[in-house]
């Protein structure tokens, strides 16, 4: 039997296959050192006879397995004909490998396996048959999941279901589900199934896949009697992979960096708190951000190329200003932390996209004609527009006094919307809460706080993080995040902060923000 360990098969495939094809099928190959560790976990089952590889690809896991053990049967599923044909050639001399050109999610539910090993495809929820696959999984597992649940977690859940008594599973998947809303029910199922033994989170500064944007985590699962605890560890560098090897070799006696009883883990919270220090722990008198403000996403048009207008486009179609709503359409058009009417006018004069077509009660002939143009291009049949009546109407969302960036690498970015204009989904809207308690609360005091390092530190506890340092906050990530309770500040301190804030607006020197941050830290630090 020839050695089938080489990783050059994947390298050749990447070199000879168009990137569009690989992205279409979410083909990102697992690095060899991680393959070896995951296979070692599966081989730890002394009764290993049947193995399942649900997302077979070129069979890198099976090739590694066969270098150690041949008295097993392997079943693999693959949906891409091209890679299926290439894999079939590599394994044609191995009659113990049964490779099927079928969708794993709709097949094989009745079989159980001693070992399951997988690097499942990662798609956005709208890029696969989400509705039907979700229904399939929910019916089989008798468990309800979030409608935005990602495909890679559905692979994981199905594999947990198919694990035989005494069996083991190893999965490498994006860490996204640990800190995303849809991940709540996924984590809940993992806890209730009592199969998760060790979660290794790859540190977010290190991208495991060469050309994938997501960060990764390695899940070691087993259907054995060691059900009491879940171990969670962080892998900061490739040298730390040895800790995974040590855990596998010494299981079940080995311990992780953090150990939690199954019944003590809360599926409803971001699991970052279980493997990273929380910045909020450094401060006292914290409240939810929703106590002071409500965050909602910006306006979603469903067809930006149609609805967004510049000065010249308005002239071309003879659309009067009555039907054009001032709006920030691109994040790059907001340079600083204060967006003024002058900034808006400069963008207008530079012919940037700075208006939204908003045809409320269309009376003018040119407006009616532009609506007809949209219908001729089937804009009215797009995903969002077809749900609106009339299709060309926009969401009724008043301008918010504060914007906050959606994606960022340098930390959260808050902008004071002094021009009082609308914004698309490139920013979230921040609306101060109106209540008797805050009826006389100064919004500039809130914004001054939002500009501080302390505010950003505490918000970061609730972030979602992707590869290459990319961070994202959904509206509810911010609503549920913590902030210091500003109403507890003495009036003299509030006035001092506002004085520094006004100086910062005038001179733009970071020294004034540092002074504000020092006041916040002195009043609320636990240290």
Q: What is the mean pLDDT of the chain?
A: 91
Q: What is the pLDDT of residues 168-210, one digit of tens each?
A: 999 999 888 998 888 999 999 999 999 999 999 987 555 555 5
Q: Is residue 78 part of a domain?
A: yes
Instruction: Quote the pLDDT of residue 3.
Output: 46
Q: Is residue 160 part of a domain?
A: yes
Under the banding of pLDDT at 50, 70 and 90, the label for residue 5 is very low
Instruction: Quote the pLDDT of residue 437.
Output: 46
Q: Is residue 86 part of a domain?
A: yes
Q: What is the pLDDT of residues 134-169, one digit of tens each?
A: 999 999 999 888 888 889 999 999 999 999 999 999
C-beta separation of 247 from 198 below 8 A = yes
Q: Is residue 223 part of a domain?
A: yes
Residue 396 has pLDDT above 80, yes or no: yes
For 379, residues 6+ apart whose C-beta sits below 8 A from its C-beta are: 303, 306, 385, 391
Residue 32 has pLDDT above 50, yes or no: yes
Instruction: Quote the pLDDT of residue 236.
Output: 83
Residue 127 has pLDDT above 70, yes or no: no
Q: Is residue 207 part of a domain?
A: yes
Residue 244 has pLDDT above 70, yes or no: yes
From the CB of residue 142, how many other CB atoms can be counted at a distance below 10 Å?
A: 6
CA–CA gap between residue 344 and residue 219 (Å, rounded): 49
Q: What is the pLDDT of residues 275-305, one digit of tens each?
A: 988 889 899 999 999 999 999 999 999 999 9
Q: What is the pLDDT of residues 341-372, one digit of tens each?
A: 999 999 999 999 999 999 988 989 999 999 99
For 423, residues 6+ apart whose C-beta sits below 8 A from its C-beta are: 298, 299, 327, 328, 399, 400, 403, 417, 429
* Among 79, 26, 37, residue whose Cα is nearest residue 60: 37
Q: Is residue 415 part of a domain?
A: no
Cα within 13 Å of Cα(496), Cβ side: 13
* 231 DSSP β-pair partners: 198, 259
Total of domains in the chain? 1
Q: Is residue 77 part of a domain?
A: yes
Instruction: Quote the pLDDT of residue 80.
Output: 94
**Environment class of 152 (CB within 10 Å of its CB; exposed 0-12, middle 13-18, buried 19+):** buried
202 lies in which domain range? 8-276
Q: Is residue 230 part of a domain?
A: yes
CA–CA gap between residue 102 and residue 228 (Å, rounded): 36
Q: Domain holding 121: CATH number?
A: 3.40.50.150
Dump the DSSP string for 105-168.
Answer: GGS-TT--EEEEEE------GGGS-HHHHHHHHHHHHT----TT--HHHHHHHHHHHTEEEEEE
Residue 508 has pLDDT above 50, yes or no: yes
- Containing 404, the helix (H) or strand (E) segment is strand 402-405
Instruction: Quote the pLDDT of residue 23.
Output: 84
């Amino acid at each position: 039997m020839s050695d089938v360990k080489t990783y050059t098969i994947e390298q050749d495939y990447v070199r000879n296959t168009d990137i569009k094809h690989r992205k279409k099928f979410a083909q990102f190959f697992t690095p060899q050192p991680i393959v070896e560790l995951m296979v070692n976990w599966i081989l730890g089952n002394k009764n290993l006879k049947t193995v399942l590889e649900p997302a077979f690809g070129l069979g890198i896991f099976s090739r590694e397995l066969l270098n150690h053990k041949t008295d097993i049967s392997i079943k693999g599923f693959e949906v891409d004909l091209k890679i299926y044909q290439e894999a079939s050639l590599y394994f044609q001399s191995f009659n113990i490998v049964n490779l099927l050109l079928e969708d794993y999610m709709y097949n094989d539910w009745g079989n159980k396996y001693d070992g399951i090993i997988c690097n499942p495809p990662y798609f956005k929820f709208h890029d696969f048959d989400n509705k039907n696959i979700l229904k399939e999984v929910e019916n089989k597992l008798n468990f309800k999941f979030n409608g935005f649940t990602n495909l890679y977690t559905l692979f994981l859940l199905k594999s947990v279901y198919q694990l035989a008594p005494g069996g083991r599973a190893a999965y490498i998947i994006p860490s996204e589900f640990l800190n995303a809303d849809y991940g709540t029910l996924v984590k809940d199922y993992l806890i209730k199934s009592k199969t998760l033994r060790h979660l290794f989170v790859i540190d977010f500064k290190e991208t495991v896949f060469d050309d994938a944007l997501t960060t990764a985590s390695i899940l070691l699962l087993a259907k054995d009697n060691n059900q009491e605890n879940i171990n969670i560890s962080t892998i900061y560098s490739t040298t730390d992979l040895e800790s995974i090897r040590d855990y596998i070799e010494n299981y079940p006696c080995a311990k992780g960096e953090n150990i939690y009883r199954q019944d003590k883990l809360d599926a409803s919270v971001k699991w970052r708190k279980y493997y990273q220090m929380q910045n909020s722990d450094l401060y006292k008198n914290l409240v939810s951000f929703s106590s002071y403000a409500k965050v909602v996403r910006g306006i979603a048009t469903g067809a930006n190329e149609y609805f967004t207008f510049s000065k010249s486009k308005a002239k071309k179609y003879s659309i009067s200003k009555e039907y054009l709503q001032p709006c920030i359409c691109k994040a790059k058009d907001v340079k600083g932390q204060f967006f003024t009417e002058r900034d808006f006018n400069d963008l207008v004069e530079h012919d940037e996209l700075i208006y939204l077509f908003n045809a409320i009660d269309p009376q003018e002939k040119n407006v009616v004609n532009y609506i007809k143009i949209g219908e001729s291009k089937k804009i009215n049949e797009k995903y969002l527009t077809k749900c609106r009546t009339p299709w060309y109407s926009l969401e009724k969302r008043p301008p918010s006094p504060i914007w906050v960036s959606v994606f960022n690498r340098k930390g959260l970015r808050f902008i004071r919307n002094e021009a009082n204009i609308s914004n698309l989904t490139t920013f979230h809207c921040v609306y101060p809460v109106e209540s008797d308690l805050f009826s006389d609360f100064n919004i500039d005091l809130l914004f001054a706080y939002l500009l501080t390092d302390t505010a950003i530190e505490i918000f970061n506890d609730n972030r979602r993080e992707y590869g290459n340092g990319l961070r994202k906050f959904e509206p509810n990530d911010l609503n549920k995040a913590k902030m210091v309770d500003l109403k507890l500040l003495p009036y003299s301190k509030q006035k001092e902060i506002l004085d520094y804030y006004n100086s910062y607006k005038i001179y733009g020197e970071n020294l004034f923000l540092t002074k504000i941050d020092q006041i916040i830290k002195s009043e609320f630090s636990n240290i």
